[in-house]
A and B are shown apart, each in its own frame.
Chain A
Amino acid sequence: MSSTGIRLLMALFIVIGTFRMTSAQEKNKIPPTRTTLSRPDFSLPEWDQLVRVVLLRDYNTRVVLVGTVLLGVCSGVIGTFLLLRGRAMAGDVISHSALPGLAIAFLVGEAIDPGAGRVTSTLLIGAVISSLIGMGCANLVRRFTKLKEETVLAIVLSLFFGFGAMLLSIVQQIPSAQLAGLQNYIFGKAASMVYDDVVLIGVSAGIVVLLALLFFKELVILCFDEDFAETQGWPTKRLDLLLMGLVVCVTVIGLQSAGLLLVVALMMTPSAAARFWTDRIGWLTLTSAILGGASCYLGVLLSALFPRMATGAVIVLMGSLFFFVSLLLGLRRGLFWKWWHAIQLRQRVERADLLRACYEAAESLSISQENSGQPRELIDVVITVPQLLAYRNWSERRWNRLLTKAVGHELIVSLPDGGYRLTQGAIAESRRIVRNHRLWEMYLIHYADVAPSHVDRGADWIEHVLAPDVVDELTRLLNEPRDVVNVPESPHPLQPEMTGGGREER
């Protein structure tokens, strides 16, 4: 996941850069002055403009919206496989290699028939061809040298992008190049989409998703265990080509709205975000598709409200927003839930430890008092903090804090003279806890040859995870009565914490 993190950061930097560039580009048309450059004006949209955009009253917004949402869905699907195969960098190579193709296609088109170079499909065909050449170059270099894959990809990427940028700077001097809007393919400008483009995107996206679903099983086995797939007779090389071909398709249809710098983020961000929500590959793909579509939807609406913002950048920002929300709140792996479960476990363990210490203290007190001729029930035994200190290596402050909390939970009753008594409910619960603990200790002593002086520590943790069926098995093995009320005697002298078995705070 770490490389995914780096990619996301990169995408963010590009987004920030994009904002600066586009605002600068807009300003270039009027003589640049210090004030206009340093304070690009992002005026808030008027109310009726907001209504118009949100209700999709504009034909243009509708067209752009349909196109980009389709793109988002299909890049979410393909991104899942790219993520699982760990080939994000290859995606970068594919997208960056498109640039020289765009420029050359424009030049060739204009040379054949002035105006033809501006047609989207001409440009995209150029992009496909040069993306494929870029990927092919990377594969060739990798096969015939010992260089690491990352190195090869980075070299090919820079080479193609550099070459493309150089061509672009030449092309920009041709007057009609402004009309073709070649620079829009770098940062993306969804607003330039027309009906025909949406049809192209829709059909391609449909085919891509269909292929991915058709070969779902085959792509999964390729991503999970390529060697095994190979021994099973799956044509792994061709499947890999299929996957890369799909990535090329998504990249090329995403060039217009997301731009070649960010189109990979369009694939990676939704799938990385979706990974926090599910552990099933089917759901992962679906979630990723939905998140991809949703970030495109929101991105287009936002950029329709703030026309100065590049659509691609806003889309990716929305995707990143989803990513960070998922990172924190994702049900499967979100940080919040991780933290929450840790707290829960800690509290459960603390409660059990506290009850066991109280119970054992009360138990030994009641035994000693019984010997002196006054039979006492556990519920009548009064325990004090100094006594408890011997049973658990917790500081006095911690004891006081936990005891106060336990009073709140009605586990113990605080007496006016500073002592505590266990409640009826707490005795039942602690019986179970102590019983499990001791059964486990006995098991360790009998079956695992652990010295009695050492079992307490090992048993300390296990008592929190003993399931009822394991406890049943233990009682059977140890010939103990299955009755929960029956707590076996401790197999080692109590008050182990005094003798140095200390293990303070985790």
Chain B
Amino acid sequence: MSTDAATSRTPPEHPVTSPLTIDDMTVAYDRKPVLWNVDYDAPVGKLVAIVGPNGAGKSTLIRAVLDLVPRVSGVVQFFGQPYRQQRNRVAYVPQRGSVDWDFPVSALDVVAMGLYRQIGWCRPVTKKFKELAMQALDRLGMAAFARRQISQLSGGQQQRVFLARALVQEADLYLMDEPFTGVDAATERAIVDLLRELQTQGKTALVVHHDLQTVTEYFDDVLLLNLHLIAAGPTEDVFTVENLRKTYGGKLALLDQVGQRIAVPETR
């Protein structure tokens, strides 16, 4: 593990490859496909919004590229290599609701979890790593809450803890699942500032986003998704009324039907 960490810290010599390349990916739960033939190349150093209605497969897209959900078909590469070889350059921010916030750990403990790989097997979290975690919390304005048990934080503060945990990983690509959902204005501001800061450092972020109002304001690029990829590219080209209608105008009736039929073949 430690050798892994050492190699990944050196910047790539070869010409910049896309942080995330998805080639013809199809994902299914049990037998019902929820994402069809997604082809996507993430641009370097851009903030990308993943937009689509509920059940469009936005979270599934992120979880599938991270091998958390098995893929039926397709190849996913991070910086030109499979995920397993590039873990250190990718940071994942899960949905806030995915963990038990009653868990007996402090905000600092959670952030330190982002460093566990660097710390390595069986070694305790030393002072050096605690300080790194503290710095990350500080960058999100959460230093004062470091010692708090995580259930005593507001929703926005919990989200910031998750972001700090991703931040300590010093990754080059950030995959965030609905970080703006249910947060206060201050947290929203803090997240946007953080994203901008990451961007100036040449990093890329793919963010599942619900609020169509702010897409153009916050993001350079957009990926419209509804069971399959509707459109992807710079916001000003792609985020059009036409495309949004395609994305939100009901789930594509045919895809849905076929999906049902694959799932329940005996009904015809």
User: Which A residues lie at the B interface, using CB under 8 A?
Assistant: 84, 146, 214-215, 217-218, 220-221, 223-225, 227-228, 230-234, 275, 278-281, 284
Closest to B63 in A: A227
Closest 9 CB pairs of A and B: A279-B149, A231-B92, A281-B104, A233-B87, A225-B99, A231-B66, A279-B104, A214-B122, A284-B104
Chain A residue contacts of B117, Cβ below 8 A = 232-234
Minimal beta-carbon separation of B126 from chain A (angstroms): 11
Contact B66 A224 (CB under 8 A): no
- How far in angstroms is the closest Cβ of chain B from A470? 13
Report 21 cross-chain contacts, Cβ distance below 8 Å, ordered by A residue: A146-B30, A217-B122, A217-B124, A217-B125, A221-B113, A223-B103, A224-B105, A224-B113, A225-B99, A225-B113, A227-B63, A227-B98, A228-B113, A230-B67, A232-B117, A233-B87, A275-B104, A278-B104, A280-B104, A281-B104, A281-B105
Is B68's CB within 8 Å of the partner chain A? yes
Q: B110 to chain A: which residues have CB within 8 Å?
A: 224
- A84 to B114 CA separation, bound complex (whole angstroms): 20
Chain A at the B interface: mostly helix, strand, loop or mixed?
A: helix
Q: Which residues of A sit under 8 angstroms from B124, Cβ to Cβ?
A: 217
Contact: B119 with A217, CB < 8 Å?
Answer: yes
Find chain B residues with CB under 8 A from A278 CB. Answer: 104
Indicate if the CB atoms of A281 and B109 lie closer than 8 Å: yes
The answer, yes or no, to whether B137 is at the interface (CB within 8 Å) is no
Number of A-B contacts (CB under 8 A): 72
Does any Cβ of A come within 8 Å of B266's Cβ? no
Q: Are the C-beta atoms of A228 and B104 separated by less than 8 Å?
A: no
Taken together as a complex, chains A and B put the C-alpha atoms of A471 and B33 apart, in Å, by 56
Convert B4-25 into 0s and 1s, putting 1 for each residue whose CB lies closer than 8 angstroms to a CB of A: 0000000000000000000000
Apart from A220-B105, A227-B68, A278-B104, 16 more pairs, CB < 8 Å = A214-B122, A217-B119, A220-B113, A223-B103, A224-B99, A224-B100, A225-B99, A228-B92, A228-B165, A230-B66, A231-B67, A231-B68, A231-B90, A233-B84, A234-B117, A280-B105
Within 8 Å of chain A (Cβ to Cβ): is B199?
A: no
> What residues on A are CB-neighbors of B149 within 8 Å?
279-280
Interface of chain B residues 102 through 129 with chain A (CB within 8 A)? 103-106, 109-110, 113-114, 116-117, 119, 121-125
Q: Is the CB of A215 within 8 A of B122?
A: yes
CB-CB nearest in chain A for B122? A214
Complex CA gap A317/B23 in Å reads 60
Q: Are B122 and A221 in contact (CB under 8 A)?
A: no
Chain B residues near A232 (CB, 8 Å)?
87, 114, 116-117
Q: Closest A residue to B93 by CB, please name it.
A: A228
Query: Quick check: B106 and A280 within 8 Å, CB to CB?
Result: yes
**Chain B nearest CB, measured from A5 CB (Å):** 15
| Cα distance A27–B107 in the bound complex, in angstroms | 58
B94 at interface, CB cutoff 8 A: yes
Chain B positions within 8 Å of A220 at CB level = 105, 109, 113
Q: Which residues in B have their C-beta under 8 angstroms from that of A228?
A: 92, 94, 113, 165
Nearest CB on B from A211, distance (A): 10
Q: With A146-B30, A215-B122, A217-B124 known to touch, is A227 a contact of B94 (CB < 8 Å)?
A: yes
| Assembled-state Cα–Cα distance A275/B105 (Å) | 12
The winner among A230, A234, A278, A279 for most chain B CB atoms within 10 A is A279
> Whole-angstrom distance from the CB of A165 to the nearest CB of chain B?
36
Q: Which residue of B lies closest to A214 (CB)?
A: B122
**Contact of A234 (CB < 8 Å), options: B92, B99, B116:** B116
Decide if B68 touches A224 in the complex (CB within 8 Å): no
Across the interface, B94 reaches (CB within 8 A) one of A84, A214, A225, A284, namely A225
Q: Which residues of A contact B121 (CB under 8 A)?
A: 218
- Taking a contact as CB atoms under 8 Å apart, the answer to whether B122 and A224 are in contact is no
Q: Give A284 to B105 CA distance when docked, in angstroms.
A: 10
